[in-house]
Amino acid sequence: MRRTSRDIRTANRYEVLRHIIADSPLSRRELAQLTGLSQATVATLVTELLDLGLLTDVGFEDSEGGRPRGLLAVAAGRGALVGVDVAETYVHAELFDLSLKVVARADREVRPGENRPEQVVALIADAVDEVLAGHAGRVLGVGVALPGQVDREGGVSVYAPNWDWHDVPLRALLAERVDPPLHLDNPLHAGTVAELWSGAARGREDAVVVNLGTGVGAGLALGGGLYRGIGNSAGEWGHTTLVLDGRLCHCGNRGCVETYVGAPGIMLNLRELSPSSPLLHPDDQTATVRALAAAAAAGEPVAVQAVRDTARYLGAGIADLVNLLNPEVIVLSSWVTTYLGELLLGEVRTAVARHALRHSLARAEIVLSPIPTDPVCLGAATFALERALAPTPTMRRTP
Amino acid sequence: MRRTSRDIRTANRYEVLRHIIADSPLSRRELAQLTGLSQATVATLVTELLDLGLLTDVGFEDSEGGRPRGLLAVAAGRGALVGVDVAETYVHAELFDLSLKVVARADREVRPGENRPEQVVALIADAVDEVLAGHAGRVLGVGVALPGQVDREGGVSVYAPNWDWHDVPLRALLAERVDPPLHLDNPLHAGTVAELWSGAARGREDAVVVNLGTGVGAGLALGGGLYRGIGNSAGEWGHTTLVLDGRLCHCGNRGCVETYVGAPGIMLNLRELSPSSPLLHPDDQTATVRALAAAAAAGEPVAVQAVRDTARYLGAGIADLVNLLNPEVIVLSSWVTTYLGELLLGEVRTAVARHALRHSLARAEIVLSPIPTDPVCLGAATFALERALAPTPTMRRTP
């Protein structure tokens, strides 16, 4: 890929807006210092963002005797974004202002077996309707993250292993219920972009975002940007082999990482230790993971051992990422991390150290996602914001 | 990483030179068509490359009644490059002209146990002396690829697992015998750059170069350029886990890909089938792999089965790369591929198909390296050429 001057300009727009979202108000001079861009470039980019209605002047600071400097902030109320996190067990929709703060939120449960495309579309549309119910202003876009492999240009769910979906034209189905522009992608990519804009990958050169949910995956932020692969399917770490000829996976393969560290895999780790454990809720992954976390935190030996076994598998899988990609930071995210992250972290670091090459290990921090809300909703909304910032006619200038 | 205009200009210089190396002579207009750059940009870049003495005017072609167009070629004789491939069992040095054609070659054997730094330095220096013996012109640089993890800025071999080297200051040791500029990197990166400039990754967006030798690794060409990771150690696929708690590896871990598909791993695959096979040369990997290839080609059942077992392991490991990175092409390279590549390829494709996700598999070609000479020497020389092309004072203008 030969990057063009236009790509760089778009990237620089993102960069300026990211800094203002994180640290506003800022002067143009501060922006130049923070971004490393020239003051002239910053001035041009700021003018464009003001014209697009994304920024606003918020007064002046005294510059010690010199000319007072204009301060800039995000025009938070001048538009809204919706981000939707569709997972195997739930749909979360969040409404964001332009500073990427959550303004409203709606949740739906995806009950076991109720995952046909029309059922999932109805849940998404209901949740989006709910967050937009009290909103009067313009909506710049709706981002939807769907499990599995997604053709984002075509708006198609190519393959969702846990639902056995193949080539479902989800954007077209959704468009009957939700106003465009609609941006589809997968939760790996959404979670990774959230970490790049607002989380642990900010300012990092090479980062990996490990999503632990029903399915698992590794979003790749390489060279400071999301790495997608040739067919937008990079990151399927959950379907790499950890144990050749091991546990059977939904994907048809055996011994995939996902079968040991995804929520059903963690249930199996527990069941292997104690087939009749009262922590097991056979039809409810969330309840099981929550019960396991509570019991392990209370020191219950079987629960502690199940967490340890999970950490050992997870550490071996993360060491593969450290050795192959030599990243600066590995971020643990998604709902299983919310429940088990603190309990897993120490053991995972020990297990990674046992498997990874010393030189690569020395550069790799392993942290929990610092994003306090749902990172996938945030990332899906960020995709909508990125599309709005790209120099294409997806957004009209404000009058 | 925010790429700057200077990065783009350097990348565009590479791009123009690559096309002229591959297809010279070319006119400026043809270059603009091939690269997608504007004619003005091409004209500027060509002038710079002419000034650097890397290109030469080779006459005119008639442009159907219009003004005749100047044709450009590489000034092949105006300088030379040396590329050295240091492996566990050999040292290959090659002298290249500026069109990256091999002009001279020297080989040395690294005998078992004779791998202390001063011994390896002596072999490298002898081989470089030999290829330069008959050469009178300027040498733009010497690239040396060393097994394991290399700090290329510091010129240090950080870790070579098969030799138990730790933090060996190899560039400093070599500088006493070989004239600078000396560029150190590892064979994964060298082989990958060779495929990007002259091989199967040319013009591809995302490619993986799988090196099969004593050690194994996966060079990553992502977004059209070499991906190095934060500490120049990306690509250690050989030290990712394929069989948790499996075979013991030099790195201290168990079940690494390398222990199943590196040359010693292949010997073990054979030994497990037939402990006293006459194909086994216990102290000679090269002889064993060569004998195995000949016997398998002749249909000898144990040899055929050993190749099949190896292909099965290799296919599972390559499927991990397909699922995680979603590349356009996977290139098999290095000396084990030279002997076994044709025999492995069909079985490997079948094994990858058994493990990889359908959508990612559909986009991933698996091919043998088309580079007829040693790709690691070519890549090491290309590093020297790239450094000479970068807008730094490593090369003076010709008078």
- Dist. CA A148–CA A165, nearest whole Å: 9
Q: What is the DSSP letter of A237?
A: G
pLDDT band at A66 (very low <50, low <70, confident <90, very high): low
Q: Which amino acid is at A217?
A: G
- E strand or H helix at A216, and its extent? strand A216-222
B220 neighbourhood in chain A, CB within 8 Å: 325
B214, B88 Cβ separation under 8 angstroms: yes
Q: What is the DSSP letter of A243?
A: B
The end-to-end CA distance of chain A, in Å, is 36
CA distance A393 to chain B (A): 24
CA A231: distance to chain centroid? 19
Over residues A259-275, the mean pLDDT reads 98
Residues 6+ apart with CB under 8 A from A139: A79, A80, A81, A82, A132, A179
Residues B185-210 have pLDDT tens digits of 999 999 999 999 889 998 899 999 99
Task: Kindly report which listed range (A231-235, A253-257, A303-307, B65-69) carries the lowest average pLDDT score.
Answer: B65-69
Over residues B157-184, the mean pLDDT reads 92
The structural domains of chain B, with segments of one domain joined by +, span: 5-74, 79-191+376-389, 203-370
Fold of B203-370: Nucleotidyltransferase; domain 5 (3.30.420)
Predicted local distance difference test score (pLDDT) of residue A306? 98
**pLDDT surpassing 50 at residue A394:** no
A289 SS3 class: helix
Over residues A179-196, the mean pLDDT reads 94
> pTM, whole model, 2 decimals?
0.90
Q: Which amino acid is at B176?
A: E
Fold of B79-191+376-389: Nucleotidyltransferase; domain 5 (3.30.420)
- In this complex, do B230 and A363 lie within 8 Å of one another by their Cβ atoms? yes
A156, A171 Cβ separation under 8 angstroms: yes
A199, A217 Cβ separation under 8 angstroms: no
B114: number of Cβ within 10 Å = 11
CA distance B167 to chain A (A): 10
**May I ask the CATH architecture of the domain A78-191+376-389?**
2-Layer Sandwich (3.30)
CATH of domain B5-74: 1.10.10.10
A41 neighbourhood in chain B, CB within 8 Å: none
Query: If contacts are CB pairs under 8 Å, which of residues 156-215 in chain B contact chain A?
Result: 158-159, 205-206
To the nearest whole number, what is the mean pLDDT of chain A?
91
Structure tokens, B171 = 């560039």
Q: Which of B1, B158, B357 sits opposite A239 (nearest CB)?
A: B357
pLDDT band at A398 (very low <50, low <70, confident <90, very high): very low
* Residue B311 to residues A363, B2, B188, B219, B365, Cα–Cα distance (Å): 33, 40, 21, 19, 16
B229 neighbourhood in chain A, CB within 8 Å: 206, 325-327, 360
Mutation site for B-interface testing, chosen from A16, A240, A257 by largest number of B Cβ within 10 Å: A240
B14 SS3 class: helix
- Dist. CA B35–CA A125, nearest whole Å: 45
Half-sphere exposure of A17 (CA within 13 A, CB side): 29
B316 neighbourhood in chain A, CB within 8 Å: 241, 244
DSSP assignment string, B309-356: HHHHHHHHHHHHHHHHH--SEEEEESHHHHHHHHHHHHHHHHHHHHHS
- Give yes or no on whether B79-191+376-389 and B203-370 have one common fold: yes
- In this complex, do B240 and A357 lie within 8 Å of one another by their Cβ atoms? no
Residues B260-285 have pLDDT tens digits of 999 999 999 999 999 999 999 988 99
Predicted local distance difference test score (pLDDT) of residue B22? 82
B356 burial level (CB within 10 Å; 0-12, 13-18, 19+): buried
Tell me what ipTM this predicted complex has.
0.90
Residue A97 phi, psi dihedral angles, 5° rounding: -85, 180
Beta strands in B113-237 (DSSP E): 139-145, 149-151, 156-160, 165-168, 182-185, 207-212, 216-222, 225-227
B68 burial level (CB within 10 Å; 0-12, 13-18, 19+): exposed
Residues 6+ apart with CB under 8 A from B203: none
Residue of A nearest to B159 (CA): A359
**pLDDT surpassing 90 at residue B10:** no
A361, A327 Cβ separation under 8 angstroms: no
| B154 in reach of chain A (CB within 8 A) | no
CATH 3.40.630.10 fits A204-370, yes or no: no
